[in-house]
Amino acid sequence: MLALRKYDIYVYTVLILLLLLLPIVAPRWIEFLVIIALVYAIMVLGLIPLSGLGGLITFGNGAFMALSAYTIGLAVRHLGLGSLAPILIPALVIPVITALLISLVVLRTRYVFFALATLAFTMLLYTLLLKLYFYTGGTDGLHIPNLSLLKGVLDLKVRDRVLGDAYTSYYLTVIAFALVLFATQRLVNSPFALSLATLRDNERRAKMIGISPLTTYSLAFAYSALTAGLAGILYALSVGHIDPGLAYWAGPSAKVVFIAVLGGFSIPGCVLASFLYIVVETYALKYLSYYWQFMMGSILLIILLTSPKGLLGLPEAFIKIRNLKTYLSLRR
Amino acid sequence: MDVDEGTITCITGPNGAGKTTLFKTIMGLHIPYHGSIIFYGEDITVKPARYRVMKGMAMSPDYRGIYANLTVKDNILLPLMALGVPRSVREERLAEILKVFPELSTLLDRSGTQTSGGQQKMIAIARALILKPKLLLLDEPFEGLALPVQRRLQNILMEIRDRMRCTLLIAEPSISPLKGLCDHIFKIDRGVVYRG
Amino acid sequence: MVIEVKTLTIIIVNALVYTAILSLIAVGLNLILGVLRVLNLAHGIIMALGAYVALSLTTLALERVGSIGPSLLQGALIIIVLFLSGLLGGLLFAVITGYLMVRKLVYYEAIYVLLVTYSIMLIMEDVIKFVWGPKGYVIHGIYPLFGTVEIAGITYPGYYFILLATAFIVIASTYIFVDYTSIGKIVKAVASDRETAVMLGVRADMAYFIAFAIGCVLTGIGGAFTAPLLTLQPGFSLEFLLLAFIVVVITGLGEIRGIPIVAFIISLLRATTATYLPELEMAIPFLLMMLVLAFRPQGLFGGR
């Protein structure tokens, strides 16, 4: 399902180039759409090791996204932060460390319970963000100003318009997406991926051959936190406003899971699904703004009901196209 | 493989040879890729387990499968409850079964798992038997039983064949508990069955 | 910090009322989660349905009933209406979605069903918004029918105690059903070991559907009886839903017995923190849940 084929790299490189060149031809609203789609794609890719290979569905993404976003936001509000560079590392490290810490608790469970535990965690964060409003701004959220990349050294600001009239953060997002794309591709073809798949198949046997469930799963969990943290940073920079809703279970957390399943947990599937989802959601919000949930839910339900045996027609089609070549060559 | 009515037929073979899979297929828990199963002239290959139970099949699995959250009595009566048999008939059948397995009558109100392994085996067999099946599948019924209990079980099984006109199909990895018991023997190895 | 008897009784009475609602919802959730092993993300909607249907039906009933006679009789009728609303709301949901979900569940992966419940949640939230509108509703006219009760100098609506009694009766009936009827025993068996049950001729999908239907009805009733207590607006059921999940996890999947006790502890904790430490109100139950999941995943009352 996820084997590396030589031409994958070429496809991805072409994709990245297209994205980089996009702003030259596309109007501003497309740019924004693409940023959000890429932000989600980054998170969804981060889910592939843990949920796709390892089989553990997590609702924690929103929490990690919120953690990094609020790191920036709080630094701005309480520490007078003016540029991105100093906060970049902390904003990435905090979600990862948190993930590793709570793995000790949460990874004592599996499957439904694991999903519930991560859901509990994200809701815990949500209620804290909501109630501690004198620190976090509560439901009003926090404003993320137009930060410069590094004050005094690189006075380029994230929401300045640069090449092709796109935000700096657009290019940052594309770069981040490229990095995550390649990183995930490598992860998925590494021994680590095999360990995860073995754990999913039969945990007892995996332990017997020396795979440590805690280590393996927590690393995968940390990876999902890393990507979610990255997504959180990019989101904060591009959108300029964050609120506790990021950590709400039915927000990014659930959407990302949904997209991942729609994408069949395959890399191309997930990227495509992210774009499709964001497009559909944006249009639903635009045309049915009051009842957009109804439209989203109906579309999702229809897709689910018409899909074969749990996977989605989408990745099936991908796999079929791939297999067609193999099949045709084997035919002889 | 043909099984004659009213006999005790045994299938023996090493572990992993496919005895349990065979039984599961006969019972309807598993649908085979090839081949068919004919029961009293009817092709039941793809029929669900419930259908087969209603037609007169019953099985006692190789693991014990006794419910901890039900009493011993309820464990035994479960299949009758599943088929919607009225309470009075259930009580009657229970009394009949207890004549065959008198040692269970003192255990009725205990929780299903507050019993010894051997007793649980008995419960599993009693549970299958209470359906008055035409075909009784027993997967490793002698496993883990002490020698005197094994002998007791042998006698019970012969009684079942004679008095209840039931066909018994027994799977066991070793031949020793089956000595003197079987009318016919089949051997199974790596999924292939042949006459022994 | 001096804890007065008055504050204590207020806390306890409020906790008890909360416990009643929470128990109803948690038992319903436990049946669904424990038997079908499905995380039903739309569970809050069932409660909301029960409440909104109750809203409409009681408003209708209150108009007609005013002329019937003694307030006690009126009160009794209202109770029946509430009960039926919950039943109706629950069954409505169960029938619409149950067939969709439960059949599929037997053959498809759990994650798939999870997502189906997610999309149903999205759809139903807006359906409710569409039918009843986004504004908040308060039902007047129910409290006066039941008089008041005074404890330690504080006056409480008589309705509180009706609620407690009803919850008690409903939950006790559920216990009896599960433990003493044939169908209940079959459901227990299917929940515990499905394959063996199928081998014995049990119809697993029927068992699933019954568990699901009862679970929905209980939740619907819980929702209906909540209606007179607070302002109904979109999203009000969220808090109960989350706490119900927590209660179910802490008690243990499939263990109905311990639920009222755990619900009471949680309600008490919540009522206490609401008085003294409002910021942490929701945080503590979640923390508890994570701890239980980590150190005793089968729940406090679970045995396996």
Per-residue pLDDT of A77-120, as tens digits, reads 888 877 888 888 999 999 999 999 999 888 887 877 788 888 88
Per-residue pLDDT for A330 more than 60?
no
Q: What's the pLDDT at C46?
A: 85
How do B8-12 and B184-189 pair as beta strands? Answer: parallel
Q: What's the pLDDT at A324?
A: 46
How far does CA C287 lie from the centroid of its chain?
21
Torsional class of C275: left (φ above 0), alpha (ψ -120 to 50), beta (otherwise): alpha
CB-based contact, C240 to chain A, within 8 Å:
no
Chains C, B in contact, 3 or more Cβ pairs below 8 Å? yes
Q: Chain B: list its partners (3+ Cβ pairs within 8 Å).
A: C
Question: Which residues from chain A sit within 8 angstroms of residue C244, using beta carbons?
Answer: none
CA-to-CA distance for C268 and C264, rounded, in angstroms? 6
CA-to-CA distance for C249 and A271, rounded, in angstroms? 35
Are A237 and A159 contacting, i.e. CB atoms less than 8 angstroms apart? yes
Pick from A310-314, B156-160, C69-73: least confident: A310-314
Q: Chain A: list its partners (3+ Cβ pairs within 8 Å).
A: C
Per-residue pLDDT of B49-63, as tens digits, reads 899 999 999 999 988
DSSP state of A161: B
Nearest to B72 by CA among B50, B96, B103: B103
Question: What's the mean per-residue pLDDT of chain C?
Answer: 81
In angstroms, the separation between the Cα of residue A131 and the nearest Cα of chain C is 5
Among 1.20.1420, 1.10.1660, 1.10.3470, 1.20.120, what is the CATH number of C5-295?
Answer: 1.10.3470
Per-residue pLDDT for A62 more than 90?
yes
A56 → chain C, closest CA residue: C111
- The dihedral built from the CA positions of residue B2, B8, B14 and B20, taken in this order, carries a sign that is positive
Q: Break chain C into its structural domains and give their ranges.
A: 5-295
Give me the residue from A57, A105, A132 closest to C294, CB to CB.
A105
Q: Is A288 exposed, middle or buried (0-12, 13-18, 19+ CB in 10 A)?
A: middle
Q: Break chain B into its structural domains and give their ranges.
A: 8-195
Question: Which residues from chain C sit within 8 angstroms of residue B136, using beta carbons?
Answer: none
CATH homologous superfamily, domain B8-195: P-loop containing nucleotide triphosphate hydrolases (3.40.50.300)
Pick from A7-11, A36-40, A88-92: least confident: A7-11
CA-to-CA distance for A58 and A106, rounded, in angstroms? 10
Q: Specify which residues C157 forms β-bridges with.
A: C148
- What percent of chain A shows pLDDT beyond 70? 89
Rounded to 10 deg, the angle between the A254-262 and C110-132 helix axes is 130
Q: Which residues contact C61 (CB under 8 A, 6 or more apart)?
A: C77, C78, C81
Which one is predicted more confidently, A156 or A2? A156
Q: What's the pLDDT at A320?
A: 44
Question: Which residues from chain C sit within 8 angstroms of residue A131, using beta carbons?
Answer: 278-283
CA-to-CA distance for C27 and B165, rounded, in angstroms? 47
CA-to-CA distance for C219 and C207, rounded, in angstroms? 18
CB-based contact, C41 to chain A, within 8 Å:
yes
Question: Which residues from chain C sit within 8 angstroms of residue A121, using beta carbons?
Answer: 286, 290
- What percent of chain B shows pLDDT beyond 70? 97
How many CA within 13 A on the CB side of residue C302?
19
Three-state DSSP at B63 gives coil
Over the range A239-260, which residues count as b (16 or more CB within 10 Å of their CB) and which as e?
A: bbebbbbbbbbbbbbbbbbbbb
CB-based contact, C164 to chain A, within 8 Å:
no
How do C154-157 and C148-151 pair as beta strands? Answer: antiparallel
Q: What's the pLDDT at A327?
A: 44
Q: Do C202 and B127 touch (CB under 8 A)?
A: no
Per-residue pLDDT of A237-295, as tens digits, reads 889 899 898 998 888 998 999 888 888 788 888 898 899 899 988 888 888 777 888 88
Backbone angles phi, psi at B4, to 5 degrees: -80, 145
Q: What's the pLDDT at A180?
A: 94
CA-to-CA distance for C261 and C15, rounded, in angstroms? 12
Per-residue pLDDT of C282-292, as tens digits, reads 778 888 887 78
- The dihedral built from the CA positions of residue C163, C169, C170 and C172, taken in this order, carries a sign that is positive
Per-residue pLDDT of C65-97, as tens digits, reads 665 556 666 667 677 777 777 777 777 777 777
Per-residue pLDDT for A332 more than 70?
no
Nearest to A300 by CA among C117, C37, C131: C117
Per-residue pLDDT for A303 more than 80?
no
In angstroms, the separation between the Cα of residue B71 and the nearest Cα of chain C is 10
Chains A, C in contact, 3 or more Cβ pairs below 8 Å? yes
Per-residue pLDDT for A322 more than 50?
no
- What percent of chain C shows pLDDT beyond 90? 10
Top-ranked range on mean pLDDT: pick from A152-166, C167-181, C236-250, C283-297:
C167-181
Q: What's the pLDDT at B175?
A: 81
CA-to-CA distance for B58 and B159, rounded, in angstroms? 17
In angstroms, the separation between the Cα of residue C188 and the nearest Cα of chain B is 7
Per-residue pLDDT of C117-144, as tens digits, reads 888 888 888 888 888 888 888 877 777 7
Chains B, A in contact, 3 or more Cβ pairs below 8 Å? no
Q: How confident is the model at residue C101 (pLDDT cuts 50, 70, 90)?
A: low
Q: HEC string of chain C?
A: CCCCHHHHHHHHHHHHHHHHHHHHHHHHHHHHHHHHCCCCCCHHHHHHHHHHHHHHHHHHHHHHHCCCCCHHHHHHHHHHHHHHHHHHHHHHHHHHHHHHHHHHHHHCCHHHHHHHHHHHHHHHHHHHHHHHCCCCECCCCCHHHHCEEEECCEEEEHHHHHHHHHHHHHHHHHHHHHHHCHHHHHHHHHHHCHHHHHHCCCCHHHHHHHHHHHHHHHHHHHHHHHCCCCCECCCCCHHHHHHHHHHHHHHCCCCCCCHHHHHHHHHHHHHHHHHHCHHHCCHHHHHHHHHHHHHCCCCCCCCC
CA-to-CA distance for A47 and A278, rounded, in angstroms? 17
Which stretches of chain A are DSSP H helices?
Answer: 6-25, 28-47, 61-79, 85-106, 111-131, 133-136, 168-188, 191-201, 203-208, 213-239, 254-262, 267-287, 292-306, 313-331
